[in-house]
Amino acid sequence: MKRFYQGLAAFVLLVFVGQEGAFGQTANSLNVTTTAVPFLRISPDARAGGMGDLGVATSPDPASSFYNQAKIPFAKKDLGLGLTYTPWLKDLGLNDVYLLAFSGYKKLDDQSALSASIRYFSLGNIQFTDFNGNELGSGHPREFAFDLGYSRKLADKLSIALAGRYIYSNLASGYAASGSTYQPGKTFAADISLYYHGVTDAAGGWNFGLALTNLGGKIGYTNSAVEKDFIPADLGLGASYTAVFNEDNKLMIGLDIHKLLVPVPPSPTGNDSTDNVNLTNYHNKSLTGSWFSSFSGENQFKTLQLSLGAEYSYQDQFFVRTGYYYEDPSKGDRKYFSVGVGLKYNVMGLNFSYLVPSGSGTNRNPLSNTLRFGLTFDLDTNEGSNNSTQSSTN
C-alpha cells in the first residue's frame, strides 16, 4: 500500500505537468488550473504555516525570502538563518516524502541586504511500471529551487526587492514513453516585491506587502517537448496590523490574498481536432500574455486564495499562532485551520505548526495531521551599527 501511494503521488505530478488543466476538462464543477513544479506553492516555513500560510506582510524573519524579500532591510538583526522540515503525506504513513527549506539573509548596511534560499522536495523512492504492470525500475523523483535576492529601502518605511530563481525538476529522468524520453525540467524565474513597514515597538501599526513571484519561463520534461507547461507565477497582496498592549504583550493580525497568474485551460468541445488546436494555442501563449489573460474568462473572485492569520507574542520570546486558509470549491476547495507556537531564546528560535485535519478525498490537505518544525538564528555581526535603528524596526 505504501508503494501504491508513492506511485500515485508521482503519477499525479506527471499528469499535472503533462496535461495542464486536466481537472477542468473532466468535471464542470471543478476547474483547477494546474501547473508544473507545484512544490513552489507549498508553504516552506513553520511560522507562516501556523498562521494559514500568512507571510507577505508579516514582520521580517529569516524565511522572508519565500514570501516577500522586501521585508529584509527592516529586520532587527544583521544576519538571519532558517531551516524548516515539512513531512509530506505523513497522514498516509510515508516517511521519505518531504520538503526541506533553508533560507538566510545578510544586511549590507541599514539600507540594503542580500538573501538566499533553497527548497528541496523529495518524493521518495518510486517503482515505475508500464501500462501492463511490468516493472521498469525504481527512481527517486525530486525537485529543488535555488534563489538569490537583493533588497533595498526606497524610503524610511518603504523597500523593494528583486530575486532570481533556478528551478530543477526531475520526476522520471531516463524513462521513455510514446517515443519520448523523460528528462529533468529546468527553467529560471524572477520575483519582485514591495514592502511598507509602519510598525514600531512602542505603538504598533500597519505593514503592507506586494509580491510577484515565479515570473519565469515554461518547463518541459521530454527530449521532444514543444508545448511546455506554465510554472506557478503568483501575485500576492498582504496587510497586517500589530496592536501593542504593553511592553510585554503584542498581537498581530494579517490577511494575504493570492492570485495564480496562469490562464484557465480551454474547456473541451467534444471535438478532438478542435480540442487539440485549443490546447496547442493555450500552451503556446507568451509569458506576459499568459499573466494578463489569467485575469479574464471567469469570475475572478473564485480564483483568489485567502490566508487569515494571527500571532500573539509575549516579551518577543513566546508566540502563539493560528490561521485559516480558503480556496473556492471550484478551484480545489482547500480549506483548513492551522495552529502553531514559537519559542525564542537569545539568538535561537524554534517554531512548530500543525495543520488541523479537514476535508476528504482530493481536497484533503497533504499536510493534514502533520507537525512541521523550524529552526531560526538571528545574529548581530555589527552590534553597534544596528542599535540606533532597532526602535523603529519591529
For position 325, which CATH number holds?
Answer: 2.40.160.40
pLDDT for 308 equals 98
Q: What is the DSSP string of 286-351?
A: -HHHHHHHTTSSS-GGGGEEEEEEEEEEETTTEEEEEEEEEE-GGGT--EEEEEEEEEEETTEEEE
State the pLDDT confidence band at 22, using cuts at 50, 70 and 90. very low
Three-state SS string over 225-242 comes to: CCCCECCCCEEEEEEEEE
Residue 170 reports pLDDT greater than 80: yes
> How many domains does the structure of the chain reveal?
1
Q: What is the pTM of this model?
A: 0.85
**Model pLDDT for residues 328-369, shown as the tens digit of each residue:** 888 877 888 999 999 999 999 999 999 887 766 555 666 677
pLDDT for 88 equals 80
Cell readout for 249 is 504583550
pLDDT for 281 equals 81
The residue among 287 and 323 whose pLDDT is bigger is 323
Enclosing domain of residue 87: 2-392
Residue 50 reports pLDDT greater than 80: yes
Task: Flag the least confident range among 53-57, 97-101, 167-171, 266-270.
Answer: 266-270
The residue among 118 and 381 whose pLDDT is bigger is 118
Q: How many CB atoms lie within 10 A of CB 292?
A: 12
Strand partners of residue 81? 104, 377
Give the span between the Cα atoms of 359 and 77, in whole angstroms. Answer: 40
Give the span between the Cα atoms of 274 and 281, in whole angstroms. Answer: 11
Instruction: Specify the 3-state DSSP secondary structure of 363.
Output: helix
Give the span between the Cα atoms of 43 and 258, in whole angstroms. Answer: 13
Residue of 87, 7, 59 whose CA lies nearest to 198: 59
Average pLDDT, the chain: 83
State the pLDDT confidence band at 176, using cuts at 50, 70 and 90. low
Residue of 212, 193, 214 whose CA lies nearest to 38: 214
**Model pLDDT for residues 221-234, shown as the tens digit of each residue:** 876 666 788 999 99
pLDDT for 174 equals 61
Residue 192 reports pLDDT greater than 90: yes
Task: Flag the least confident range among 22-36, 70-84, 157-171.
Answer: 22-36
User: Any residues with CB less than 8 A from the CB of 299 and at least 6 apart, and which?
Assistant: none
**Model pLDDT for residues 272-313, shown as the tens digit of each residue:** 888 888 788 887 788 888 888 888 876 778 889 999 999 999
Q: What angle do CA 302, 257, 374 make, to 5 degrees?
A: 125
pLDDT for 361 equals 57
Mean pLDDT of 199-209: 95
Residue 390 reports pLDDT greater than 60: no
The residue among 276 and 114 whose pLDDT is bigger is 114
